[in-house]
C-alpha cells in the first residue's frame, strides 16, 4: 500500500495543527516577543508549511489571546500585561486543583507510564539545565497532567490559561531565582497522581499556583 497517499482534508488539518502548536509555543516562550509583528512568510518557511495552515493557526491563536490582528496593519503577538495576572490566577486557582484531582482519579495505565517517565525527568532536573529547557519541561509537566483528566473541555481551558501564565513567567524569568525549584514542585504533584491521591494532588496544585503568583508579585 502506498503510504504517501493521504486524504487532503486530513493532511491539511494535520498541518494546521502542527503550525498551531509550533507557533503557540514560540509565543509562549517569547521566541516571538510580545508586540512583535507576525511574519507569515517567515513562519511558512521555518515550519515548511503553506500559508493556509499558518493562517488557520493564527486565527486559533487570536481566540486564545496570544496574537491580535489589526485591519490594514497585520497580526502581532499580544502584549504581556501584568494586570492580567489577577484574572488568570483567579481561573487557575479554581481549575488547576480540579484538574489535578481529576487526573489522580482518572489516569489510565498508559497515562501512568508516561507520568512515571516524566517523573524521572523532573527528579533529574537541576541547576545545570538552561532556563529555556526547564521552561519546556514545566510546560510538558502541566500538559501531561491535563491529559490525564480525560475531559477535553477542562483540558483545553487548563492549557489556555497555563499558556498565558507561562508568558508572564517568561517575561520575568531573567529576574527570577529558583527556576529549578519551581519545576521541582511538579515532582510531588505527579507522584500524588501516580499514587491515586486526589486530595493531595488538589492541595499541591493549589500551592503551585499560589507560589507562582506570589513569585511574580514580589517582583512587581
pLDDT tens-digit readout, 88-99? 999 999 999 999
- Alpha carbon 168 to its chain centroid, in Å, reads 12
Cβ neighbors of 61 (< 8 A, separation 6 or more) are 20, 23, 24, 27, 67
Q: What percent of the chain has pLDDT over 90?
A: 77
Whether 97 is covered by a domain: the verdict is yes
Place of cell 523532573: 122
Domain around 56 = 8-77
Note whether 25 and 102 are same-domain residues: no
Note whether 90 and 56 are same-domain residues: no
Q: Give the pLDDT of residue 10.
A: 35
Note whether 213 and 117 are same-domain residues: yes
Note whether 199 and 95 are same-domain residues: yes
Burial of 176 (0-12, 13-18, 19+ CB in 10 A): middle
Note whether 34 and 104 are same-domain residues: no
What tens digit of pLDDT does each residue of 54-85 get? 999 999 999 999 999 999 899 999 999 999 99
DSSP state of 76: E
Q: Give the pLDDT of residue 7.
A: 32
* Integer Cα distance of 59 and 56 in angstroms: 5
Burial of 166 (0-12, 13-18, 19+ CB in 10 A): buried
Domain count, the chain: 2
Note whether 61 and 93 are same-domain residues: no
Note whether 191 and 129 are same-domain residues: yes
Note whether 121 and 139 are same-domain residues: yes
Note whether 20 and 93 are same-domain residues: no
What mean pLDDT do residues 154-179 have? 89
Amino acid at each position: 500500500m502506498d503510504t504517501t497517499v493521504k486524504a487532503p482534508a486530513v493532511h491539511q488539518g494535520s498541518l494546521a495543527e502542527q503550525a498551531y502548536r509550533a507557533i503557540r509555543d514560540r509565543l509562549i516562550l517569547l521566541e516571538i516577543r510580545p508586540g512583535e509583528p507576525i511574519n507569515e512568510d517567515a513562519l511558512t518557511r521555518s515550519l515548511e508549511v503553506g500559508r493556509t495552515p499558518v493562517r488557520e493557526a493564527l486565527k486559533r491563536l487570536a481566540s486564545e489571546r496570544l496574537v491580535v490582528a489589526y485591519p490594514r496593519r497585520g497580526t502581532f503577538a499580544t502584549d504581556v500585561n501584568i494586570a492580567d495576572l489577577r484574572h488568570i490566577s483567579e481561573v487557575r486557582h479554581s481549575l488547576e486543583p480540579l484538574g489535578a484531582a481529576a487526573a489522580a482519579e482518572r489516569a489510565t495505565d498508559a497515562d501512568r507510564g508516561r507520568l512515571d517517565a516524566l517523573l524521572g525527568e523532573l527528579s533529574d532536573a537541576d541547576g545545570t539545565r538552561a532556563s529555556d529547557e526547564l521552561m519546556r519541561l514545566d510546560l510538558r509537566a502541566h500538559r501531561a497532567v491535563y491529559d490525564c483528566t480525560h475531559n477535553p473541555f477542562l483540558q483545553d481551558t487548563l492549557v489556555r490559561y497555563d499558556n498565558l501564565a507561562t508568558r508572564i513567567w517568561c517575561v520575568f524569568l531573567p529576574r527570577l531565582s529558583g527556576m529549578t525549584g519551581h519545576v521541582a514542585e511538579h515532582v510531588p504533584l505527579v507522584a500524588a497522581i501516580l499514587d491515586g491521591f486526589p486530595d493531595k494532588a488538589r492541595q499541591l496544585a493549589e500551592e503551585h499556583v499560589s507560589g507562582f503568583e506570589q513569585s511574580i508579585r514580589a517582583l512587581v
